[in-house]
């Protein structure tokens, strides 16, 4: 079941079109990567999902119903530009934000205490936020984003500003939330984190959605028939045979092995490649290399920009 | 009412964070103490000088006009001597026989005298002596040169004193005694007061909006509540802070004065003994006149006190709301406080102008200038209050209120539109043209 359906959403600002008939759906319980270069329209889309602004046309369905003011209680939002009241005490502030999300005073207080303890910042409950380190502020911010246990979580560049250790903790938290059934939209430039945790993605460029779907399917769709073979020893003829029948992209001599990256030409199958290798070497490993999300991102965006350019 | 009403939560936060600030507590408590001190200080000083100082003046009069003529009081006594001034000076220097010497020189042209002392004497002593000398000399000339009895002269003065009372008539022909000076003072006080309240608290709204924008928390909050709810919560919260501060100020000031009165009843009842200070004779002359003015203020208030309070409250609320919403809108389109000034200037200018013209309006409360300034909504909160004590036709008051209310509706609409867009704009300057585009959306 879809928790979110975005249908033909357009948004025009005074000088430019921020979103141009964007449609996609997010299934319940997945981590959904919202990708795109700077200025593509991601922030506008996220603000529409948070009902901070409204689309000029098109609509957004939340759990099958048009998005309404009451839904904000089921949505958690971590904006890219983090911010808390600097002079306000950390605990008091978290309580205030939790209550704005509709939580009862006592319930919010108990749950916040637990969370602050879990994150090791309970001692800082009564300190103004400006006295906390940046990492602690990030923790407070993340707690306030999730304290009302939203069914749907929107994280805009969640890893920016975290050191590797805290970034890893955050990743684990995100996966924990997913395991508990939370649907998460992750807007990011960090493609490695997309590969690690996203199930589905949508790629937005110049206000338009240019790609969406399951991450694995997309990688398969854009695969270029490249295989990596690692062999422990080789006869001299292996390199020649490979060169004759296939396209050798790269040959690397590793300490105890040799690695080939090979593209299959039209009409050849992986088994053909294996046959050649088997004849001339001991195979250590053999696998298909799928394109990285980074490659797909750059390729698709550049391809799209070129199309736009030609149209003009 | 719905539980967890977000506007109430926002009001509570805006209110509590400000009220708990050290600067707020300090200012709220210190100011009344300062006020009370300013009121009581002169009285306390009087008491001090009354207790301590008794001044003995030796009069060495070469003219002999003033022989035995000075009138002593509780604090000052006079004795008279003639002879060489230097020997009397030695008396002061060596054995403190008297506190000071009044040496009146015989110099035919003008009345010249010196007051010698070693240890400090009350500063009012010389004026006390001067006055007495004036009177004595005047009476002497009346009697000796013009052959007029001073007592008769005084009677004549009283007889010929003219008194012009200004009486205002309203539409129904009711008459009301009117004192222009008091109108001016009351009007100016009310006007300045409204001005300061608007400036202080409306600019707090501006700063609050800026704080939320620059700290970027606004995006988190507007994902939970509507921007207009945040705006309303902030404006109302800060208004409550202002009211709290005002109420505490009034209560504390009166409280301190009350305590002082109980502690020392004679001090505060206004019956400071005339003779408490050397020189109190001056006060004795002018006091009755002052008293009659006070009585007239009371009479005056019994007529239109309610009206003034009502209008004050109305223009305070409406004026604050107009400026607070405009300031909030301007605060939302900038990124830092120094940039904000170019946007707030067009709004602050009318307010400044209304303060600049306060004296002219107070002087001529029914002139053209006064009429126009009390009708234009950005200036009317100050200008109408300046005019009010002098009596303003009812239709003008109602028209001014109506215009202010209509303008307030416009301001709220304007602020809601601009604020909603402004708080989400980062990094670039918003032009006025762009703001007008938002309005048309």
Q: What is the distance, to the nearest Å, from the Cα of residue B143 to the centroid of all Cα atoms in its chain?
A: 46
Q: Are A255 and A241 in contact (CB under 8 A)?
A: no
What tens digit of pLDDT does each residue of B276-305 get? 444 433 443 444 444 444 454 445 544 466
For helices A90-100 and A134-146, angle between their N-to-C axes, nearest 10 degrees: 30
Q: Residue A130: closest CA among chain B residues belongs to which residue? A: B215
The per-residue pLDDT for A290 is 85
Chain A, nearest residue to B215 by Cα = A83
Percent residues over pLDDT 70 in chain A: 100
Q: Which residues of B touch A88 (CB under 8 A)?
A: 17
What pTM was computed for the model? 0.73
Residue range A28-38: average pLDDT?
Answer: 90
Burial pattern B96-110, b for ≥16 Cβ within 10 A else e, equals eebbbbbbbeeeeee
Tell me which range, B302-311, B342-351, B397-406, is most confidently predicted by mean pLDDT: B397-406
Does residue B222 sit at the A interface (CB-CB below 8 Å)? yes
Question: Has residue B404 got a pLDDT over 90?
Answer: yes
Q: CB of B124 within 8 A of CB of B279?
A: yes
pLDDT score at B280:
39
Give the largest CA-CA distance in chain B: 97
Contact status, residue B25 vs residue B249, Cβ threshold 8 Å? no
Give me the CATH code for the B54-154 domain, please. Answer: 3.40.190.10
**Structural domain boundaries in chain B:** 6-29+179-440, 54-154
Candidates B13, B216, B226; nearest CB to A83: B216
What is the mean pLDDT of the segment spanning B7-28?
Answer: 90
Reply yes or no on whether the pLDDT at B73 is more than 60: yes
Q: What is the least distance, in Å, from the CA of B354 to any CA of chain A?
A: 36
Q: For residue B417, give the H/E element and its range.
A: helix B394-422
Instruction: Give the pLDDT confidence score for residue B47 in this predicted structure.
Output: 64
| Residues B167-189: tens digit of each pLDDT | 767 667 776 666 667 777 777 88
Share above pLDDT 90 across residues of chain A, in percent, rounded to a whole number? 39
Q: How far is CA B63 from the centre of its chain?
A: 48
Of A72, A85, A102, the CB nearest to B217: A85
How many CA atoms are closer than 13 Å to the CA of B46, on its beta-carbon side?
A: 20
- ipTM score for this prediction: 0.81
Looking at residue B273, its pLDDT comes to 41
Average pLDDT over every residue of B123-152: 84
Q: In terms of DSSP bridges, do strands B76-81 and A247-254 run parallel, antiparallel, or are they unpaired?
A: unpaired
B356-389 pLDDT, tens per residue?
888 888 888 888 888 999 999 999 988 988 888 7
The reply to whether residue A51 touches residue B223, judged by beta carbons under 8 angstroms, is yes
List domains and CATH numbers for chain A: 2-220 (3.40.50.300), 224-289 (3.30.70)
In Å, how far is A288's CA from the nearest CA of chain B? 44
Name the residue among A72, A96, A144 with its Cβ closest to that of B9.
A96
Structure tokens at A125: 């409950």
**Is there a contact between B268 and B259 (Cβ–Cβ < 8 Å)?**
no
User: What is the pLDDT at residue B321?
Assistant: 93
Task: For chain B, count helices (H), then strands (E).
Answer: 16, 6
Beta strands in B64-221 (DSSP E): 76-81, 100-105, 112-117, 166-169, 175-178
Q: Which sign does the torsion angle of CA A145, A151, A152, A157 carry?
A: positive
A–B interface: beta-carbon pairs under 8 A: 64
Residues B323-351 have a mean pLDDT of 86
| Average pLDDT in chain B | 79
Indicate if the pLDDT at residue B1 is higher than 50. no
Band of residue B2 on the pLDDT scale cut at 50, 70, 90: very low
State the smallest CA–CA distance between residue B220 and chain A in angstroms: 7
Contact flag B424-A82 (C-beta cutoff 8 Å) = no
């Amino acid at each position: 079941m879809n928790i979110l359906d975005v249908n033909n959403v357009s948004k025009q600002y005074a000088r430019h079109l921020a979103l141009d008939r964007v449609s996609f759906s997010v299934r319940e319980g997945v981590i959904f990567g919202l990708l795109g270069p700077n200025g593509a329209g991601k922030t506008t889309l996220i603000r529409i999902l948070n009902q901070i602004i409204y689309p000029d046309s098109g609509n957004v369905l939340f759990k099958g119903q048009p998005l309404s003011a009451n839904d904000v209680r089921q949505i958690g939002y971590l904006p890219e530009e983090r911010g808390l009241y600097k002079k306000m005490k950390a605990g008091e502030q978290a309580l205030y934000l939790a209550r704005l999300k509709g939580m009862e005073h006592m319930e919010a207080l108990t749950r916040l205490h637990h969370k602050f303890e879990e994150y090791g910042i309970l001692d800082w409950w009564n300190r103004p936020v400006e006295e906390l380190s940046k990492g602690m502020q990030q923790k407070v911010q993340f707690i306030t984003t999730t304290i009302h246990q939203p069914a749907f979580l929107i994280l805009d560049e969640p890893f920016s500003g975290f050191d590797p250790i805290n970034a890893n903790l955050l990743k684990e938290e995100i996966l924990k939330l997913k395991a508990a059934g939370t649907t998460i939209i992750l807007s990011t430039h960090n493609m490695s984190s997309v590969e690690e945790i996203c199930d589905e993605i949508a790629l937005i460029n110049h206000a338009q959605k240019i790609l969406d779907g399951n991450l694995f399917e997309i990688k398969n769709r854009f695969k270029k028939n490249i295989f990596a073979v690692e062999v422990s020893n080789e006869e001299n003829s292996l390199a020649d045979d490979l060169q004759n029948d296939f396209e050798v992209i790269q040959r690397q001599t590793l300490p105890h092995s040799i690695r080939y990256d090979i593209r299959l030409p039209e009409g050849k199958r992986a088994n053909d490649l294996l046959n050649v290798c088997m004849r001339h070497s001991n195979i250590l490993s053999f696998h298909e290399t799928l394109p990285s999300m980074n490659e797909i991102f750059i390729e698709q965006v550049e391809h799209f920009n070129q199309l736009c350019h030609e149209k003009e | 009412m719905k539980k967890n009403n977000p506007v109430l939560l926002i009001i509570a936060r805006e209110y509590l964070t400000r009220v708990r600030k050290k600067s707020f507590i300090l200012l709220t408590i210190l100011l009344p103490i300062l006020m009370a001190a300013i009121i009581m200080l002169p009285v306390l000083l009087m008491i001090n000088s009354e207790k301590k100082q008794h001044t003995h003046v030796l009069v060495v009069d070469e003219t002999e006009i003033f022989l035995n003529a000075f009138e002593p009081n509780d604090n000052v006594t006079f004795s008279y001597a003639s002879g060489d001034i230097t020997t009397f000076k030695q008396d002061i220097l060596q054995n403190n026989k008297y506190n000071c010497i009044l040496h009146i020189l015989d110099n035919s042209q003008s009345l010249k005298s010196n007051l010698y002392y070693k240890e400090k004497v009350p500063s009012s002593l010389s004026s006390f002596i001067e006055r007495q000398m004036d009177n004595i000399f005047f009476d002497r000339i009346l009697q000796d040169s013009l052959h007029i009895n001073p007592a008769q002269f005084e009677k004549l003065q009283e007889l010929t004193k003219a008194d012009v009372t200004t009486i205002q008539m309203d539409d129904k022909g009711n008459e009301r005694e009117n004192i222009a000076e008091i109108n001016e003072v009351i009007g100016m006080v009310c006007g300045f007061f409204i001005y300061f309240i608007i400036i202080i608290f409306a600019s707090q709204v501006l700063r609050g909006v800026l704080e939320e924008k620059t700290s970027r928390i606004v995006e988190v909050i507007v994902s939970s509540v509507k921007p207009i709810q945040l705006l309303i919560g902030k404006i109302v919260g800060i208004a409550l802070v202002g009211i709290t501060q005002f109420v505490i100020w009034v209560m504390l000031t009166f409280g301190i004065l009350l305590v002082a009165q109980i502690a020392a009843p004679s001090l505060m009842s206004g019956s400071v003994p005339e003779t408490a200070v050397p020189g109190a004779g001056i006060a004795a002359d002018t006091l009755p006149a002052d008293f009659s003015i006070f009585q007239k203020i009371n009479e005056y208030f019994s007529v239109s006190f309610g009206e003034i309070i009502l209008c004050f409250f109305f223009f305070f609320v409406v004026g604050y709301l107009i400026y607070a919403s405009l300031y909030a809108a301007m605060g939302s389109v900038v990124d830092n406080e120094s940039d904000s000034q170019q946007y707030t200037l067009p709004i602050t200018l009318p307010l400044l102008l209304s303060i600049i013209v306060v004296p002219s309006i107070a002087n001529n409360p029914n002139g053209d200038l006064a009429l126009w300034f009390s009708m234009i909504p950005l200036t009317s909160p100050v200008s109408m209050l300046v005019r009010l004590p002098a009596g303003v036709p009812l239709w003008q008051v109602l028209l001014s209120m109506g215009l202010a209310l209509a303008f307030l509706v416009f301001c709220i609409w304007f602020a809601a539109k601009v604020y909603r867009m402004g708080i989400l704009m980062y990094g670039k300057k918003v032009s006025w043209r762009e703001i007008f585009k938002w309005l048309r959306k």
